[in-house]
Amino acid sequence: MKDIDEFKIANEDYIRYYNTRRISLRFNGLSPVEYRLKSYPGRN
């Protein structure tokens, strides 16, 4: 059970990193979340 819990935590951490901290050249150096917020200014 410990290995599954560790996997879940590591997976959640990676998803959080991927969406909030990773820069993307496709989005002009913004993270996916930053790009979405910039694309929809009324949703901040």
Per the CB < 8 A criterion, the answer to whether 17 and 11 are in contact is: no
How is the chain split into domains, by residue range? Answer: 2-43
What is the residue-level pLDDT of the chain in tens, covering all 44 positions?
689 999 999 999 999 999 999 988 888 899 999 998 988 877 65
pLDDT at 43: 60
Helix (H, G, I), strand (E, B) or coil at 4: helix
Per the CB < 8 A criterion, the answer to whether 31 and 22 are in contact is: yes
